Amino acid sequence: MATFPQQLPSTGPAREALRQKGQFWTPDWIADAMVCYVIAGGHTTLFDPAVGAGVFFRAAKRLGNKAGRTIDLQGTELDPDALEEARQTGLTELDLANVAITDFVLHPPNGVYEAIVANPPYIRHHRLTSQVKEQLKALALSMIGKVLDGRSGYHIYFLLRALQRLEKGGRLAFIMPADTCEGVFAATLWKWIARSFCLDAVVTFAPHASPFPNVDTNAMIFFIRNAEPRSEFLWVKCNRRDSDALKTWVLSGFTVNDSPDLEIHVRDLSEGTTTGLSRAPLEENGDPTLGDFATVLRGIATGANEFFFLTRKQAEDLGIPEGFLIRAIGRTRDVFGELLSIQDIEALDAKGRPTRLFSPDGRSLHDFPSAVQEYLKQGEALRLMERPLISTRKPWYKMEVRSAPPFLFAYLGRRNARFIRNYAGVVPLTCLLCVYPRNNDPIFIDRLWEVLRNPETVNNLIHVGKSYGDGAIKVEPRSLEKLRLPKGLIDATGLELHPTTRQFGLSLG
């Protein structure tokens, strides 16, 4: 079949423009499967709310011609340049005649549609204006009775608006990033979808089978009908790119299940939404969680690392007293293994890497030593107090305080998410998480370390992390506390919960 792969710029202004528009074209083998689903049952009108280069229109024409029927193509698109690309890849003016140039989310067309298919623009929340965010809040409130968390990307509201415009008995197929069911808003979103619509199937992809190679996004497909909800749904993992197996499975009405390219499970809807639709089924086995033995906090957010995070030489040249400096680590790649020692920090000093956190307390400016006063005045001259995070601190230079955690956690990586034993006694910036055991007995800490460093524990991170492209995961503090610790390891190490619950951690300083 004909295909028109998107040429993705790797860096520079072109890549930034791509991120701003959130445009990543769907490959034909995916588009065919999605269109097959929505036009099943004889639907003759297809609506795409983000037409872009027209991949779903082309799929509808191919499949319609093969079946001897014409599919009426309708849609919206905000970017006229994208439609020009659609023309260059084979669509005619007649094909695009019913495409309106408009923002589908904020200015949707009237009416409802029997078949909706889309790869909505992946525009993250920090690229949205405050005015747009207020409009999106109002949309969510009107539809589901709640405001979604402000970190919801624009693609989430494409899904909401499309479900609102889905005709009774109609079908919807959306391909979206995994954060659709992993973000902080996900529980609210999917609770509403699960009670309002029928989730037929969810398709995930092994890293080597990603529809969008070289894009830092873990894609998923959602097949949803505007019908009575069911208690079960099909969960699929696609293990081969450019395979016809997915289309064949959809065309069979989800009955063919003997392809080596697809891993298919029947899952309970409640279990799936609780575990996370992007994650494989997880049986309840009674394993304890990290939160039973430790608490987790993010690292220190300075708001201006270039000012507050110094090299040893910078601190010496400025004459800042040691009492206002804390040994710190500022990037994951400065930790080379699972152990961090004071010798490692000294090696970073020798390389000129920052290792000293300038940590003023809340006293008045004139109460600091003269060298500290002079440096803080430099910060005022730079108007650091106007930066978003710093502006919330009173006074602006008062630094967050953490006790040095016995364990650090590298929470974002492709194959290097790991726990780190902090023998150096450093505090981390936001590149790492702080793990504070619920008991500070050295034997307790040593036994917990043996459990945390075990590959069996590390492998469980996929069940609590947010997934990105190429197998990358990101684990937030509260999610890390839900990490299962294999009971067999707990028993083997003799690790037990102690009645003492004194924690290291956050101090208001």
pLDDT of residue 280: 86
Residue located via tokens 């639907």: 43
Round to whole Å and give the CA distance between 51 and 118. Answer: 8
Q: How far apart are CA 43 and CA 76, in angstroms?
A: 19
Whole-Å CA distances, 167 to 231, 342, 375, 417: 22, 64, 63, 44
Q: Please tell me the predicted confidence (pLDDT) of residue 471.
A: 65
H or E element at residue 477: helix 477-480
Q: What sign for the dihedral angle of Cα 121, 124, 128, 134? A: positive
What class has domain 12-275?
alpha beta
Whether omega before 395 lies within 30 degrees of 0, making that bond cis, reads yes
pLDDT at 66: 87
Where are the chain's structural domains?
12-275, 291-363+399-507
**Spatial contact of 424 and 281, defined as CB atoms under 8 Å apart:** no
* Token representation of residue 489: 């390891």
The whole-number pLDDT of residue 499 equals 56
Query: 230-260 burial, b if ≥16 CB within 10 A, otherwise e?
Result: eeebbbbbbbbbebebbbebbbeeeeeeebe
The runs of H, that is alpha helices, within 229-311 are 245-251, 269-275, 305-308
Number of Cβ within a 10 Å radius of residue 408: 27
From first to last of the 509 residues of the chain, give the pLDDT tens digit.
334 444 444 444 443 444 444 456 899 999 999 999 999 988 999 999 999 999 999 999 999 988 888 999 999 999 999 999 999 989 999 999 999 999 999 999 999 999 999 999 988 877 888 899 999 999 999 999 999 988 889 999 999 999 999 999 999 999 999 989 988 889 999 999 999 999 999 999 998 899 988 777 789 999 999 999 999 999 999 999 999 999 999 999 999 888 899 999 999 999 999 888 998 887 767 789 999 999 999 999 999 999 999 999 999 999 999 999 999 999 998 998 899 999 999 999 999 999 999 999 999 999 999 999 999 999 999 999 999 999 999 999 999 999 999 999 997 654 567 899 999 999 999 999 999 999 999 999 999 999 999 999 998 998 888 777 666 778 889 989 999 999 999 999 999 876 544 444 444 33
Specify the length of the chain in residues. Answer: 509
The pLDDT value recorded for residue 336 is 87
- Domain 291-363+399-507 coded CATH 1.10.10: no
Topology match between the domains 12-275 and 291-363+399-507: no
